Structure 1
Amino acid sequence: MKADQIRIHLSQNKDRSAAVSVSWPRSEAERLFIGQPVAQAIAMTPLLFSLCAQAQSLAARLVLQQAGGQHATASDEQRATLTLEAARETLRKLLLDWSQAFDGAPAAAEWTAQWRTAQDLPALRKLAEAFVYGEDCQHWLQRGEDGWQAWLKQGASAPARWLGMLGQAQPGCALLPPLGAGMLADNLADWLRPGGPVWQGQAREVSALAREAEQLPGLLQQGLYPRARLLARLLQLARWLTGTQLQASAARLPDGALALVDTARGPLLHLAALDENGRISRYRVVPPTLWHAHPEGVLRVSLGFLAAASDAEWQRQISLIDPCVAYSVSKETEYA
């Protein structure tokens, strides 16, 4: 999907105090669905949303079925496809973006070649066990927090080394609790605030860290949010590769329906309503990045703490938060 960049601006005073502002003037491509029949909108979805196309397509199918009066549920096959997409995307991030952010270059060509040819979970698991974990995924999952700390200190893989580099404490946002479509349908107003989504009045972090927080209490108590954020992504990947599937659900609203679909970056929300002719009268998409780019969200909180850091460190921290669109950074120093 073509969208405007997230805009991040740092204003630094002579006394080294700084303020960070974040905005995302998102282009709402889903407006093209208005007036369209259901089948047309479903066909258009993967063309408009190329990243996480399977998740976007499943959300569109579920919300439009539910809005049309059906009881929409995701099949095991659909959830398996959703999970495969998330696993492939996470490995792509590891091999390309996070390798670039931590090591200054993408992973070696032999690794990226394996990723391109890996089209199912067994092939992705083989790649992950070699590049990411250095051991069997299931064994790695069973280590627990103390075992993961010992593993990263050994530095036996590139991601283990990266985790060892993330030893600085910094502030973090409150975490979004686990939600299903039914619970969200009863508490939807905050999520749809014009200034950006919130939950119980707070901007939240919605990433894998929100789903894996119970596994990482020590890191969170120490304020090691960057380390916890990356480790949570590795935990999620290992779970998907050993049989856990992402969730998707739908619920009816008084004036339409919603669908909530998990993705690698966080929850994806679609809302829709149909007119008396069965055509779409309202459609809205709330992607995880609207939470990341909230004016009081995780990008602002994390980067405000790093105001005096290098550009490379800023890029590393933004990459860990993992917005789904490009971003631009501008800085100014005030001497008044």
Structure 2
Amino acid sequence: MNTDRIHIVLSQNKDSTTAVRVSWPRMEAERLFIGQSVAQVEAMTPLLFTLCARAQSLAARLVLQQAAGQQAIASDEQHAMLTLEAVRETLRKLLLDWSQAFDGAPAAAQWTAQWRAAQDLPTLRSLAEAFVYGEDCQHWLQRGEDGWLAWLMQSDTAPARWLRMLDQPLPGCTLLPPLGAGMLATHLADWLRPGGPVWQGQACEVSALAREADQLPGMLEMNLRPRARLLARLLQLARWLSGTQQLQASVASLPDGALALVETARGPLLHLAALDAAGRISRYRVLPPTLWHAHPEGVLRVSLGFLAKANAAEWQRQISLIDPCVAYSVSKETEYA
């Protein structure tokens, strides 16, 4: 719905400085779960959350099992399906959204047709090696930071060309450290703050860059955050396609229910649930990674604060790299007071 979007406002002050305000009045669709049975919620989840539907469904299944006192463990098959969904979503971003942001149009029809037809990792790997890497993705992974820099300067693939364009230093937020459901359960109050989630009091970036930061120290030292952000997504994609890594899910019990933490391409997805004596849902919350992206002091505000004089195409490019899961609007206002 149009109301469920991120609002970004650039304010021109009378002293010619620019401030950025970011807000996301999120529509909490999971409120529909209250009073429902576990079976009803499991059936409703992929209908309410069509983006990352497998991740949302897995999180719902795990948190409800844990809340009911059962041992909730994601199977190898569930991890594989979670990873396959992230591969397809990342390639969709590359072929459609990022191609639009950098080149002004989606990728050629031949590429998008291959993506729509591909349903397994081997076929998706072939597509990625042709469109993204221009070589075997396992070989590409072994290059290291200096090798990736040489590749992006020399390769003629579209993503390499986009990376060459991202040569502007921009500051960023603290990167969220790796954590599981158990650690999160002991710091849950921070994630549930009304003003937006924080970790150790700070708004954080939770994207692939947070997971791959130790692979890109040079770019981060130079504050080439946009380049590192896109390259981190390519690193994650190559790991999934080569079979060296899968997305994970974990659960933990709470005094009044349970939580499930599921990794997605955009960052950590959190589900919280509690059941009443009849086994129906008494509490349910979903905290998607975009709550971090759209934090009032988060990565969108920090990044756009240094692009206030850029054109609309550059805003679109930077917002697309941060990759919120909902629509957004950018507007300007002038303060005279």
Q: Distance in 2 between matches of 1:265 and 1:214?
A: 18
Q: Does 1:264 align with 2:265?
A: yes
Q: CA deviation at 1:13?
A: 2.9
What is the CA deviation profile of residues 230-281 of structure 1, one whole-angstrom value per residue up to 9, with x for unaligned ones? Answer: 0000000000001111000111001000000000000000000000000000
The residue correspondences of 1:245-260 to structure 2 (distance < 5 A) are: 245-260=246-261
Between the aligned residues of both structures, percent identity stands at 84
Task: Tell me the residue number matched to 1:91.
Answer: 91
What is the CA deviation profile of residues 65-112 of structure 1, one whole-angstrom value per residue up to 9, with x for unaligned ones? Answer: 000001101000001000000000000000000000001110000000
Task: Tell me the residue number matched to 1:333.
Answer: 334
Contact 2:134 2:155 in 1 (8 A): no
Q: Distance in 2 between matches of 1:54 and 1:165?
A: 34
Q: Distance in 2 between matches of 1:188 and 1:115?
A: 38
Q: Distance in 1 between matches of 2:85 and 2:19?
A: 37
Gaps of 5+ in 1: none
Task: Tell me the residue number matched to 1:285.
Answer: 286
Helix, strand or coil at the partner of 2:284: strand
Q: Distance in 2 between matches of 1:17 and 1:307?
A: 9
What is the CA deviation profile of residues 205-225 of structure 1, one whole-angstrom value per residue up to 9, with x for unaligned ones? Answer: 000000000000000000000
Contact 2:37 2:281 in 1 (8 A): yes
Task: Tell me the residue number matched to 2:127.
Answer: 127
Q: CA deviation at 1:12?
A: 1.3
| TM-score in terms of structure 1 length | 0.98
Q: Distance in 2 between matches of 1:100 and 1:24?
A: 24
Q: Which segments of structure 1 move beyond 4 Å, counting only runs of 4 or more?
A: none
CA 263–178 in structure 1, closer or farther in 2 if over 3 Å, else same = same
Q: Distance in 2 between matches of 1:306 and 1:328?
A: 15
Contact 2:205 2:298 in 1 (8 A): yes
Q: CA deviation at 1:334?
A: 3.9
Q: CA deviation at 1:332?
A: 1.7
Helix, strand or coil at the partner of 1:138: helix
Task: Tell me the residue number matched to 2:199.
Answer: 199
Q: Distance in 2 between matches of 1:217 and 1:86?
A: 25
Gaps of 5+ in 2: none
Q: CA deviation at 1:156?
A: 1.9
CA 237–75 in structure 1, closer or farther in 2 if over 3 Å, else same = same
Q: Distance in 2 between matches of 1:3 and 1:148?
A: 40
Contact 1:3 1:325 in 2 (8 A): no
Task: Tell me the residue number matched to 1:51.
Answer: 51
Q: Distance in 1 between matches of 2:12 and 2:121?
A: 47
Provide the alpha-carbon RMSD of the alignment: 1.1
The residue correspondences of 1:212-231 to structure 2 (distance < 5 A) are: 212-231=212-231
Task: Tell me the residue number matched to 1:103.
Answer: 103
Contact 1:22 1:299 in 2 (8 A): yes
* Aligned partner letter, 1:265: R
What is the CA deviation profile of residues 264-305 of structure 1, one whole-angstrom value per residue up to 9, with x for unaligned ones? Answer: 000000000000000000000000000000000000000001
* Aligned partner letter, 1:195: G
| TM-score in terms of structure 2 length | 0.98
Task: Tell me the residue number matched to 1:25.
Answer: 25
Number of residue pairs the alignment of both structures matches: 336
Q: CA deviation at 1:16?
A: 3.3
The worse-fitting range, judged by mean Cα deviation, of 228-237 and 152-161 is 152-161
Helix, strand or coil at the partner of 1:189: helix
